[in-house]
Amino acid sequence: MVGKVGRVTGTIGPGRTGEVVISIRGGTEAFLAHAVESDQTIPQNARVVVVEYYPPRTVYVAPA
């Protein structure tokens, strides 16, 4: 999971819960996403890379 590149489908920002879509397990799955740096805003359709994964459904991402 860590190191996979995904695409933002819901804007990630401070105080918001964003969404990224990652290609995994043969299909694409949506994860609740937050930015690694807490004041960063990552807009929709930006490419991100998964830095940390907290199961079941939360990832921390950084812009790719």
Partner 1 sequence: MSPLAVIGGAAVVVVVLLFLLFRAMWRVAEPNEALIISGFHQDAVEGVAESLGFKIVTGKGSLVMPGIQRVRYLSLDANETELDITCVTTQGIPVSVKAVVIYKVGDDYASISNAARRFLDKTQDELEQKIKNVFEGHLRSIVGGLTVEQMIREREALTEATRRHSGEEMQKLGLVIDSLQIKEIDDTTGYIKNLAAPHAAEVQKQARIAQAQADREATEQEQQAEALKAAARRETEIKKAGFQAEMDRAQREAAQAGPLAEQIATQRVVVERTKVAELEADRTEQQLQAEIRKPADAEAYRQRTLAQADRDSRISRAEAAAKETELAAAAAAQRTKIEAAANAEKVRVEAEAQAGSVEAVGRAEGEARRARGLAEADSLRAQGLANADAVKARAEALAVNQDAVIAQQLAERAVDIVAAAAKPVGDIDNLVVFNGTDGIQDAVMQSISKGFAALQALRATLSVPVTGNGTSASPSPNSKERAPDGLGVGPGREV
Give the residues lining the site for partner 1 (CB under 8 A).
Answer: 1, 10-11, 16-19, 25-27, 29-30, 32, 44, 53, 55-58
| Cα 47 from chain centre | 9
User: In the chain, which ranges are E strands?
Assistant: 5-10, 18-24, 27-35, 47-54, 58-63
CB 31, CB 1: distance < 8 Å: no
Residue 62: CB minimum distance to partner 1, A: 19
Residue 24: CB minimum distance to partner 1, A: 8
* CB nearer partner 1, residue 29 or residue 37: 29
